Structure 1
Amino acid sequence: MIVLVCGVGGAVGMQRLTGDEEALALARPVEVGQALTTQDLVQVSLRVSDGVDLVPASATSTVLGKPAAYRLPAGLLLTASAVGQPKVPAQGRAIAAVALKPGQYPPNLSAGASVIVLARPSGANPIGELRIWPAVVSVFENRRDMNLAVVSLELSESDAQAVASQQSEHVAVVLTAGGGR
C-alpha cells in the first residue's frame, strides 16, 4: 500500500514538475464521419501550452462513438474541434468522385494535392471545348486489382455537379502547384 501511494505521489509530483499532461492522439488514420473507438486512440504524455484545445486522456469516454469531423491521420493530437459532425466539405463546396485509369492521373497523386480536372467533350462530335475545373484531392484510392484509381475531388458545388456528370473515360487530372486555372 505504501509503495502504491508513493508511486502515485511520485507520478503526480513528476507531472507537476515537468508540466506534462496526458492527452489523446490517433493510433491509426480515421475517415470523416467514422465513429471513434478505443482502437483508434492512444494516450500520449506531453507539455501543453495554454490555449491548445487537446482532448485530455481523462475525457476518453466523451469522444468514444463520436464521428470524426475531418479525415484525421495517425499520430494527430486529438482536439475537440476534430470530433463531431463532419465539416467536410465546407459550406458551398462538394465532393465528386471519378474512377480513372492509369494515364488519366499522375502516378504521384495523393490526398491534399491541388489539381485541375480536364474533361473533353463526348458523343458523336468529340471535338469541342475542353472543360476545366480547379479542385483539391480529398481522397485517393489506388485500386490496382481493378486497374483504376478512385479520386474524390473537392470543388465548388456547381463544379462538382459538372465533374460528376462527365464520363470517366473523358476525364483527366493534372497535378498543379497551386490548383488555379
Structure 2
Amino acid sequence: MSWLGKKGRLTAVPAGRRTRRRLPHLLVGVLLVLACVGGALWWTTSAQGRVSVLAVARPLSVGHILERADVREVELAVADTIVTVPAERATAVLGRPMATSLGPGALLTPGSVGPAAVPGAGHAIVAVALKPGQFPLEVAAGSPTLVVVTTPSSPGSSSLPESGQTWPATVTALVRAESDQTTVISLQLVGDAALALARVPAGQVSLVMLAGGER
C-alpha cells in the first residue's frame, strides 16, 4: 500500500511497519477469545456444581401436612456433607407431616418431615401468653427469637429471673385467641432456660425476632 507524502508524492510504507501496526490488534483479539473461552468454562463448571433443591416458601409449624405451595425450588452449590431434598424428589416429602417448625428460606431435609421431632434433644417447649406490642407481627413458626424479661422481679422473689435476662428460642407454634388480644406462642429453648422462663409472671416477657440463624 502507498500513501501520499508531505509534498503529494506517493510513498511506500515498508511491510515491516504494517506488521507492527497490526500486531497489537491481533493480541487484543486473541485475549478476547481466551477470555470468552475461560468464561464459558467457568460458567459450565459452576453450573455442573449446582443442584436444584427444595426450600421452605412460608412459615411451617410442626404437624403441618406439607403441600406444594409450602416449598419452592432453589439452586445452590451443595457440599457432600449437606443433606437436602432434591427438587425431583418432591413427591417423597409432599403430603407428609412436618417433624419440626421451619421459617421461610430454610432448606428442607429428609428429617424435616415425619414424626414430631420437637422438642429437640436437651431442649424443652414452654408457652407464653403475649399481648400486642410484646412480639413482632412477623413472628411465625420457625422464627428464631430472643426472649427478654422486661419487668423487674418483685422484692423477695430472688428465684425469679432478673429484668434484662435473655434466652435464645425458636417459635414452634402460635395461636391468636379470638376472644381477646392475647397470643399464645410456643417456644423451644434449652431445658434450663425453659424452666426459668416458665417462672416469669405473665406480662413480663417480650420477644425480639432475629435474622436467619442469628443467635
Aligned equivalent of 2:59, options 14, 19, 29: 29
- Corresponding residue for 1:172? 205
Alignment of 1:29-48 (within 5 A): 29-48=59-78
Alignment of 1:1-181 (within 5 A): 18-19=47-48, 20-102=50-132, 105=134, 111-117=143-149, 127-130=155-158, 131-132=160-161, 135-139=167-171, 146-157=180-191, 160=194, 163-164=197-198, 168-169=202-203, 171-173=204-206
RMSD across aligned positions (CA): 4.1
Post-superposition offset of 1:63: 0.8
1:24-55 deviation per Cα after TM superposition (whole angstroms, max 9, x unaligned)? 22222211232212221223344433333221
Q: Partner of 1:58: helix, strand, or coil?
A: helix
When structure 1 is superposed on structure 2, of 55-64 and 67-76 the one drifting more is 67-76
**Structure richer in strand, relative to its length:** 1
Q: Name stretches of at least 5 consecutive residues in structure 2 with no aligned partner.
A: 1-42
Post-superposition offset of 1:72: 1.5
Post-superposition offset of 1:89: 1.7
CA distance in 1, matches of 2:46, 2:150: 58
Q: What percent of counterpart residues are identical?
A: 34
Distance 1:167 1:41, change over 3 A: same
CA distance in 2, matches of 1:150, 1:119: 19
Larger radius of gyration: 2
CA distance in 1, matches of 2:60, 2:206: 26
Q: Partner of 1:73: helix, strand, or coil?
A: coil
TM-score, structure 2 length as denominator? 0.52
Q: Name stretches of at least 5 consecutive residues in structure 1 with no aligned partner.
A: 1-13
Counterpart contact for 2:136–2:207, Cα < 8 Å: no
Distance 1:76 1:172, change over 3 A: closer
Counterpart contact for 1:116–1:174, Cα < 8 Å: yes
TM-score, structure 1 length as denominator? 0.60
CA distance in 1, matches of 2:135, 2:59: 24
Count, aligned residues: 158
CA distance in 1, matches of 2:136, 2:104: 23
